[in-house]
């Protein structure tokens, strides 16, 4: 394509906020980036990272040919026809020899691309793959376990309006997590009527803006939140009227909280009773409270217990489905499938709970290398980099090599790709249609479909095309059926819908491969390179059926109910600024609560038992050998998981320094820029030092996303410390199996 003088609308793909941006191109280079003021959710907002998006598009080890690993371990380029034939044969061989249940699917999208996962779901159904996981099962499955029981629905805080916003192990200044985060944080800071409570051992950029910073000792959140809750109960600050109308199961938990020694629990968390009581009273005085938990508690001791306890704050205050409070929300596709019963199935090899259909990430290496007869023999991995991003990378490399067959779909020759039998090169997120399912705002929710802003890089294919070719090779596509559906699609969405229903009743197998069927038929008729977005047509029909009134109220008034799904689909395809998909009333938010009686269920017996036993739990996991606590994987100004492979995108601190308090620097005899050796049970690495008194003495951190391969052979020198060379699979939550990456005992030595 020739140089294009115009601005092109797309989004930033570096975090879940997915801010709308406009970019200028010089041939295939992204030369300028600015916020898109017309974007429905971000309204022109971006952070500094979006300006460097060209390092994603052009700065990494893009692969331009399918690769096959040869018996000597080297990779050779193969043409697409060969690759599709051999990958289909490889997947089939594992199934034929050992059964389809010995295949596992991992991934399905990162921070900007969830259509990958939609195609992946079709492949899983077509091949009968039932074992699956993704990054959610190393952070959010504890939360999903708890939410399944409390409400049966995903909930999200309304930080744009909350009178009190609580950030618990969450640093939105750098990690975002809701629209226009820094603007909102500054607004709260400037508003005398609103307050911010930050619960974080570090004096983060967010904590600097807070009214209350509970700088607890790392790993003691359960004690801190229990003391906050105990204050609400013991000072009789809870919303009894609301609870009696809207919640069940409050008796035992309030009884247990009434017996907690607030002074003792505060002290165990390294806090004074006064500061805990003051924060609790501020919460109790507010009209609305919203809480954001994130990795600081999800990857630390007692994580599932804390996910439960923090939700009791808004439950006991009755701050649910009101403006500024915690709410349910709509979505184009759910990120979780909840179990209201709490009787999650066990994964047969390791016995760990399968939550929301996902096996715990920490268990996957063992599921592969165990001598259990049902062990995993083959893996299909797309848009994820588990060898780098999951606990214990050395163990992952071994596990990958122990598989009979593995294939990785990625844009780059990643750490995971370097261990796979085959690698299939994908077009980047700026070279095809994409979208994410992160949107969780309420009462108005939004959705953005992106069109490609440049042609696919030579040699690459979008995932929809790869999945379609694989299914064709496996003999699962009937070209006559597809041709008839394509003709119907050319006549319009209504004809297409009718033809699809007819075709599905004649061929029940069609539903399983639905995403590819939509790609091949409706997709072929879509303009602007939007073919890959075709499966969203189905999501739009479901959205319109589930939330008819809310979709109508979102700007689709006057459209007959049966035409609503098509209207939403057309609107989202036509807009590069995102569209409003639902407008609910707060009362309607209750329709998404899926508990048996439709009320909030406050009682999770096994977690209440844990709360009772908490007083016997340790508050310090350091040992004589490992006298520091390492937070392995902090979000900083220039980190973006492993999406940015090119280390030159970081102008400052390219190596990702280990941060430590000046008192620790003095006792270790190190200063800024010196090298320090970090040793944990899992491994050892050397990083430069940054003396930083936002840390507590004894608590140190390294950033996430460092230490990526710079060359495809995996032998080149890496820049920065790859955090999971230092972590181990056994250091994890007892329910969800989620790793304690924020709380790794470590030793430090000056080098």
Ligand X SMILES: Nc1nc2c(c(=O)[nH]1)N[C@H]1C(S)=C(S)[C@@H](COP(=O)(O)OP(=O)(O)OC[C@H]3O[C@@H](n4cnc5c(=O)[nH]c(N)nc54)[C@H](O)[C@@H]3O)O[C@H]1N2
Which does residue 19 bind out of ligand X, ligand SF4, none, counting CB within 5 to 8 angstroms by kind?
A: ligand SF4
Closest C-alpha to 432, from 409, 412, 410, 462: 462
12 binds, among ligand SF4, ligand X, none (CB under 5 to 8 A by kind): ligand SF4
581: which 2 tokens?
């998909």
Residues in region 164-203 near ligand SF4 by CB under 6 A: 176
- CA 159 from centre of chain: 19
Strand 658-660 with 675-679, pairing: unpaired
Contact flag: residue 120 with ligand X (CB under 6 A): no
Least separation in angstroms between residue 214's CB and ligand X is 8
Q: Is 544 in the site for ligand SF4 (CB under 6 A)?
A: no
- Contact partner, 532, from ligand X, ligand SF4, none, Cβ < 5-8 Å per class: none
Q: Is 456 in the site for ligand X (CB under 6 A)?
A: no
Among 91-99, 151-159, 405-413, 574-582, which window interacts with ligand X (CB under 6 A)? 405-413
Which entry of ligand X, ligand SF4, none binds 50, CB below 5 to 8 A by partner kind? ligand SF4
Tell whether residue 108 is a contact of ligand X (CB under 6 A): no
* 736 binds ligand X, rule: CB under 6 A: no
Residue 18 binding partner per list ligand X, ligand SF4, none, with a CB distance cut-off of 5 to 8 Å that depends on partner kind: ligand SF4
Q: Which two tokens stand for residue 729?
A: 């699979």
Least gap, CB of 438 to ligand X (angstroms): 10
Asked whether position 18 contacts ligand SF4 by CB under 6 A, the answer is yes
CA–CA separation, 614 and 259 (whole Å): 12
> Quick one: which of 49, 156, 645, 732 contacts ligand SF4 (CB under 6 A)?
49
Question: Using the rule CB under 6 A, is 33 a contact of ligand SF4?
Answer: no
Matching residue, tokens 């039932």? 130
Residues 6+ apart with CB under 8 A from 41: 20, 179, 439, 441, 446, 448, 578
Give the angle subtended at the CA of 368 by the CAs of 362 and 371, to the nearest 5°: 120
Cβ–Cβ < 8 Å for 147, 154 = yes
Binding partner at 411 among ligand SF4, ligand X, none, C-beta below 5 to 8 Å by kind: ligand X
Residue from 22, 86, 139, 690 touching ligand X (CB under 6 A): that is 139
Classify residue 27 by burial, with Cβ atoms within 10 Å: 0-12, 13-18, 19+.
exposed
644 binds ligand SF4 (CB under 6 A): no
d(CA 215, CA 169): 10
47 binds ligand SF4 (CB under 6 A): yes
What is the dihedral sign for C-alpha 599, 605, 610, 611?
A: positive
Q: Under the criterion CB under 6 A, does residue 180 sit at the interface with ligand X?
A: no
Choose one: 201-209, 230-238, 263-271, 507-515; the region binding ligand X (CB under 6 A).
201-209
Q: What single DSSP character describes residue 216?
A: P
Choose one: 372-380, 542-550, 668-676, 737-745; the region binding ligand X (CB under 6 A).
737-745
Tokens for 607, please give them: 């977690």
At what angle are helices 115-127 and 463-473 packed, to 10 degrees? 10
Q: How many angstroms separate the CA atoms of 218 and 200, rounded?
A: 8
CA dihedral defined by 37, 41, 42, 44, rounded to 10 degrees? 0
Is the torsion defined by CA of 592, 596, 598, 601 positive or negative? negative
Beta strands in 431-502 (DSSP E): 444-447
By the rule CB under 6 A, 724 interacts with ligand X: yes
- Of 9, 10, 15, 702, which lies in the binding site for ligand SF4, with binding defined by CB under 6 A? 15
| Token pair of 303 as six digits | 């994580």
Specify the 3-state DSSP secondary structure of 492.
coil
Stretch that binds ligand X, among 36-44, 169-177, 178-186, 348-356 (CB under 6 A): 169-177
Which among ligand X, ligand SF4, none contacts residue 539 (Cβ within 5 to 8 A by kind)?
Answer: none
643 interacts with ligand X by CB under 6 A: yes
Number of residues that bind ligand X (CB under 6 A): 61
Rounded distance, CA 326 to CA 593, Å? 12
Task: Check: CB of residue 276 under 8 Å from CB of residue 148.
Answer: no
- Residue 326 interacting entry, from ligand X, ligand SF4, none, C-beta within 5 to 8 Å by type: none
CA–CA dist 240, 247 (Å, integer): 10
Q: Which stretch binds ligand X (CB under 6 A): 512-520, 617-625, 659-667, 721-729?
A: 721-729
For position 383 contacting ligand X by CB under 6 A, the verdict is: yes
Residue whose C-alpha is closest to residue 450's, from 553, 528, 369: 528
Which listed range, 255-263, 553-561, 637-645, 671-679, lies at the site for ligand X (CB under 6 A)?
A: 637-645
- Half-sphere CA count of 423, side-chain side, radius 13 A: 28
Q: Using alpha carbons only, how large is the chain's radius of gyration in Å? A: 25
Cβ density class 267-276: b for 16+ within 10 Å, e for less: bbbbbebebb
Task: Tell me: does residue 300 bind ligand X (CB under 6 A).
Answer: yes
450 binds ligand SF4 (CB under 6 A): no
Only one of the segments 13-21, 257-265, 691-699, 722-730 lies at the binding site for ligand SF4 (rule: CB under 6 A); that segment is: 13-21
For position 50 contacting ligand SF4 by CB under 6 A, the verdict is yes
139: partner contacted, choices ligand SF4, ligand X, none (Cβ within 5-8 A by kind): ligand X
Binding mask 670-709 for ligand X (x = CB under 6 A): ----------------------------------xx----
Q: Can residue 111 be called a binding residue for ligand X (CB under 6 A)?
A: yes
389 binds, among ligand SF4, ligand X, none (CB under 5 to 8 A by kind): ligand X
Cα–Cα distance, 323 to 7 (Å, whole number):
36
Distances (CA, A) of 93 to 356, 466, 467, 747: 29, 19, 18, 46
Q: Which of 9, 36, 39, 46: binder of ligand SF4 (CB under 6 A)?
A: 46
Instruction: Give the residue ranges of DSSP H helices in 199-250.
Output: 221-234, 240-246
Whether the upstream peptide bond of residue 443 has omega within 30° of 0, thus cis, is yes
3-state class (DSSP) for residue 549: helix
389 binds ligand X (CB under 6 A): yes
Give 66 or 249: the residue with its C-beta nearer to ligand X. 66
Any residues with CB less than 8 A from the CB of 682 and at least 6 apart, and which? Answer: 392, 394, 724, 725, 726, 727, 728, 744
Binds ligand SF4 (CB under 6 A): choice among 9, 10, 14, 554: 14
**Binding positions for ligand X, rule: CB under 6 A:** 15, 110-111, 113, 116, 135, 138-139, 168-171, 174-176, 199-202, 204, 218-219, 221, 294-297, 300, 382-386, 389, 409-412, 414, 426, 428-429, 463, 631-635, 639-643, 704-705, 723-724, 727, 741-743
List residues binding ligand SF4 (CB under 6 A): 12, 14-15, 17-19, 46-47, 49-50, 176
């Amino acid at each position: 394509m020739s140089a294009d003088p115009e601005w092109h609308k797309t989004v930033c793909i570096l975090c879940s906020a997915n801010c709308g941006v406009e970019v200028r191109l010089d041939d295939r280079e992204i030369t300028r980036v600015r916020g898109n003021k017309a974007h429905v959710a971000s309204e022109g907002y971006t952070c500094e990272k979006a300006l460097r998006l060209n390092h994603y598009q052009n700065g990494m080890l893009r692969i331009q040919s399918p690769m096959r690993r040869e018996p000597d371990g080297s990779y050779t380029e193969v043409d697409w026809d060969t690759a599709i034939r051999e990958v289909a044969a490889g997947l089939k061989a594992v199934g034929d020899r050992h059964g389809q249940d010995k295949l596992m699917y991992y991934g399905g999208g990162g921070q900007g691309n969830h259509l990958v996962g939609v195609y992946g779901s079709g492949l899983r159904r077509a091949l009968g793959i039932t074992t699956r996981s993704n990054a959610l099962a190393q952070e959010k499955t504890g939360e999903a376990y708890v939410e399944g029981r409390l409400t049966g629905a995903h909930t999200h805080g309304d930080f744009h309006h909350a009178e009190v916003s609580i950030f618990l192990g969450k640093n939105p200044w750098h990690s975002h997590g809701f629209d226009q985060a820094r603007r909102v944080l500054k607004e709260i800071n400037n508003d005398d009527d609103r307050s911010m409570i930050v619960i974080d051992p570090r004096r983060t950029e967010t904590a600097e803006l807070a009214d209350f910073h509970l700088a607890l000792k790392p790993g003691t959140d359960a004690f801190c939140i229990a003391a906050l809750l105990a204050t609400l109960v013991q000072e009789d600050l809870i919303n009894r009227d609301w609870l009696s109308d809207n919640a069940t199961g409050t008796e035992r938990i309030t009884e247990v909280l009434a017996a907690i020694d607030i002074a003792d629990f505060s002290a165990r968390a390294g806090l004074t009773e006064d500061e805990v009581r003051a924060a609790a009273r501020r919460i109790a005085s507010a009209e609305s409270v919203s809480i954001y938990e994130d990795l600081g508690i999800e990857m630390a001791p007692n994580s599932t217990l804390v996910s439960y306890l923090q939700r009791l704050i808004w439950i006991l205050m009755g701050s649910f489905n009101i403006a500024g409070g915690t709410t349910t929300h709509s979505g184009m596709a759910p990120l979780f499938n909840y179990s209201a019963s709490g009787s999650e199935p066990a994964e047969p090899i390791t016995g760990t709970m399968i939550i929301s259909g996902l096996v715990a990430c920490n268990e996957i290496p063992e599921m592969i290398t165990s001598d259990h007869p049902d062990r995993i023999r083959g893996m299909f991995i797309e848009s994820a980099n588990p060898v780098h991003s999951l606990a214990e990378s050395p163990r992952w490399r071994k596990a990958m090599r122990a598989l009979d067959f593995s294939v990785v779909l990625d844009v780059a020759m990643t750490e995971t790709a370097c261990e796979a039998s085959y690698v299939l090169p994908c077009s980047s997120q700026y070279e095809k249609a994409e979208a994410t399912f992160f949107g969780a705002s309420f009462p108005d929710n939004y959705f953005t479909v992106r069109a490609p802003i440049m042609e696919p890089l030579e040699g690459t294919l979008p995932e929809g095309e790869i999945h379609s070719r694989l299914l064709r090779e496996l003999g699962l596509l009937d070209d006559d059926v597809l041709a008839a559906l394509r003709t119907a699609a050319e006549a319009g969405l209504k004809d297409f819908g009718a033809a699809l229903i007819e075709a599905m009743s004649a061929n029940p197998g069609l539903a399983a491969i639905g995403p590819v069927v939509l790609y091949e038929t409706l997709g072929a008729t879509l303009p602007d390179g939007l073919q890959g977005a075709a499966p969203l047509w189905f999501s739009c029909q479901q959205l319109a059926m589930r939330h008819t009134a809310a979709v109508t109220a979102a700007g689709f008034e006057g459209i007959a109910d049966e035409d609503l799904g098509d209207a939403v689909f057309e609107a989202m395809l036509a807009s590069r600024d995102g569209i409003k998909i639902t407008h609910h009333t707060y009362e309607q938010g209750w329709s998404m609560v899926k508990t048996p009686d439709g009320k909030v269920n406050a009682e999770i017996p096994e977690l209440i038992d844990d709360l009772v036993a908490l007083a016997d739990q340790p508050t310090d996991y350091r040992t004589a050998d490992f006298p520091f606590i390492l937070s392995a994987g902090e979000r900083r100004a220039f980190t973006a998981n492993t999406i940015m492979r090119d280390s030159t995108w970081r102008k400052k601190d390219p190596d990702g320094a280990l941060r430590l308090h000046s008192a620790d620097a003095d006792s270790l005899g190190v200063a800024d820029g010196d090298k320090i050796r970090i040793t944990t049970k899992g491994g050892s690495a050397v990083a430069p030092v940054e003396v930083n008194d936002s840390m507590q003495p004894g608590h140190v951190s390294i950033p996430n996303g460092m230490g990526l391969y710079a060359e495809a052979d995996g032998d080149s020198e890496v820049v920065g410390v790859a955090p999971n060379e230092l972590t181990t699979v056994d250091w994890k939550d007892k329910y969800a199996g989620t790793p304690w990456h924020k709380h790794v005992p470590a030793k430090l030595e000056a080098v």
